[in-house]
Amino acid sequence: MNKKKIIISAVNFTEGGPLTILRDCACFLNANYTDDYDIYAIVNNAEVIKEYEYIKPLVFPEIKKSWVKRLYFEYYQAKEISRQYKPYLWLSLHDITPNTDAEIRAVYCHNPSIFRKTTLTDLREEPSLFIFSLLYKYLYKININKNSYVIVQQGWLREAFAKLFKLPLEKIVVAKPEGDQVNSIDVNTKREEDTFIRSRAFFFPAFPRPFKNFEVIGEAVKLLNSRKISDFQVYITLKGTENRYAKRIRETYGHLKNIRFIGLISRDEVADYYSTCKALIFPSKLESWGLPISEFKEYAKPMLIADLPYARETVGTYNKVSFFDPDKPLQLANLMEAVLNGNANFEITKEQTYAKPFAKGWKELFEIMLPFKQKESDSTIIV
């Protein structure tokens, strides 16, 4: 008997958070759905899903090279692929709703840049991101109402999408990412002196983009230094060569001895810093989730987080978090000093509740999109 087909489209995912979304999705499907479905993943490079033996890659390496190629793929090639494979479910993991033929269509919207106010600084430092932010909401809009489901990661995004695109709330699924996304590292495996240094250190892992707001950390460190406080470190995953924004941050704050510019690091190394550093700083002004916040919660250490809706949703239930205005480095400096002195006053936060449709993790999400799978697996035949 021929199986129904699922196509997962992630043709431009090669790094960072988007790649994590693809791999987590593929991992879940590989372990749970291949008995009932033939599953294909449209990818830039087959290597990104090579360990998921039952997921068949459809490789399009040229798509990421230009927006012309990307749009040609979404609005022409995707249609041809859907006609060839006749998928039951087509899930686009990268925001844009392609032209496809499928019984169930869904789009996973994880890029909130359409809600960001662009500046002339953005145009100078990252012109592609500037143009992207201006035009992306129009690309989001094309075909979005043809989806059976529009998937977002937070409640504020559900409300924003419903308002901007005139979508019914019952079509927008809030799909909350699950924790445990990085492997824990035993602190005892680190060199003793390195562990001691990091015990008075803060950590901010993020790719250097203007909205990540590395500036507020630099200014806060300058304020602490002006108070003669220098027995601490801040590790940031920025080297200065990644892009123009990174270069400006390095040129502006590279003289500060308390900031360590470690560059991009592996996921195991991220877990290493989580284990050994004293606290997480997360000053980003825009996120669809804020994955390091979820990951760092597993270590039960202090977190200093931008006081924005996405961040409060991501924190959920926690008892070691303080929030600060991401445009006020003085607030951050005061919180950092309190953490170093051991007299920080933390908020006790609670998990937000969501109206249906709501899913926590891939299992619940696919049970919404493919409801008969759960019913079939739960059925019992008595002979």
Closest CA to 172 of 233, 125, 128, 109: 109
How high is the pLDDT of residue 121? 67
Q: Is residue 283, in this structure, part of any structural domain at all? A: yes
Q: How far is CA 193 from CA 133, 187, 199, 279, 342, in A?
A: 44, 12, 10, 18, 21
Least confident of 6-15, 90-99, 188-197, 271-280: 188-197
Q: Is residue 144, in this structure, part of any structural domain at all? A: yes
The angle formed by the CA atoms of residues 32, 7 and 155, to the nearest 5 degrees, is 75
Condensed to tens digits (0 to 9), the pLDDT of residues 135-173 reads 777 888 899 999 999 999 999 899 989 999 999 999 999
* Contact status, residue 29 vs residue 10, Cβ threshold 8 Å: no
Residues of the domain holding 257: 187-349
Q: Is residue 91, in this structure, part of any structural domain at all? A: yes
Q: Is residue 110, in this structure, part of any structural domain at all? A: yes
Residue 176: how many other CB atoms lie within 10 Å:
23
Q: Is residue 15, in this structure, part of any structural domain at all? A: yes
How high is the pLDDT of residue 120? 65
Closest CA to 257 of 331, 304, 197: 197
The DSSP-derived string for 258-299 is TEEE--S--HHHHHHHHHHSSEEEE--S--SS-HHHHHHHTT
> pLDDT at residue 73 above 60?
yes
* Contact status, residue 187 vs residue 195, Cβ threshold 8 Å: yes
CATH number of the domain bearing residue 216? 3.40.50.2000
Together in a domain, 40 and 168: yes
How high is the pLDDT of residue 248? 95
Together in a domain, 72 and 135: yes
How high is the pLDDT of residue 252? 97
pLDDT category at 65 given cuts 50, 70, 90 is: confident
d(CA 351, CA 187): 29
Together in a domain, 224 and 244: yes
d(CA 141, CA 160): 13
DSSP percent split of the chain into helix, strand, coil, nearest 5: 45, 20, 35
Together in a domain, 301 and 361: no
How high is the pLDDT of residue 376? 45
pLDDT category at 2 given cuts 50, 70, 90 is: confident
> pLDDT at residue 58 above 50?
yes
d(CA 121, CA 127): 9
pLDDT category at 334 given cuts 50, 70, 90 is: very high
Hey, what are 206's tokens?
A: 């993020």
Condensed to tens digits (0 to 9), the pLDDT of residues 17-35 reads 788 889 999 999 999 999 9
Hey, what are 211's tokens?
A: 């909205």
Q: Is residue 383, in this structure, part of any structural domain at all? A: no
How high is the pLDDT of residue 21? 87
How high is the pLDDT of residue 352? 86
Together in a domain, 227 and 339: yes
Q: What number is the average pLDDT over the span 86-105?
A: 94
Together in a domain, 172 and 49: yes
Together in a domain, 153 and 85: yes
d(CA 305, CA 311): 7
Mean of pLDDT over the chain: 87
Q: What number is the average pLDDT over the span 323-350?
A: 96
Together in a domain, 228 and 341: yes
Condensed to tens digits (0 to 9), the pLDDT of residues 261-312 reads 999 998 889 999 999 999 999 999 988 888 899 999 999 999 999 999 999 9
> pLDDT at residue 54 above 80?
yes
Q: Is residue 38, in this structure, part of any structural domain at all? A: yes
Q: To 10 degrees, the CA torsion angle through 359, 365, 370, 373?
A: -90
The DSSP-derived string for 97-142 is ------SEEEEE----GGGSPP-HHHHHH-HHHHHHHHHHHHHHHT
How high is the pLDDT of residue 187? 36
**More confidently predicted of 67 and 293:** 293
Q: Name the percent of the chain lying above pLDDT 90.
A: 67
How high is the pLDDT of residue 197? 64
* Contact status, residue 73 vs residue 43, Cβ threshold 8 Å: no
> pLDDT at residue 124 above 90?
no
Together in a domain, 151 and 194: no
Q: Is 196 buried (19+), middle (13-18) or exposed (0-12) by CB count in 10 A? A: exposed
The structure tokens 């824990």 sit at 184
Together in a domain, 27 and 101: yes
* Amino acid present at 319: N
* Contact status, residue 290 vs residue 284, Cβ threshold 8 Å: yes
Number of domains in the chain: 2
Greatest extent of the chain over all pairs of C-alpha atoms, in Å: 79
Least confident of 286-290, 337-341, 361-365: 286-290
Q: Is residue 182, in this structure, part of any structural domain at all? A: no
How high is the pLDDT of residue 337? 97
Together in a domain, 209 and 315: yes
Together in a domain, 147 and 70: yes
Condensed to tens digits (0 to 9), the pLDDT of residues 177-230 reads 765 444 433 333 344 445 546 789 999 999 998 899 999 999 999 999 999 999
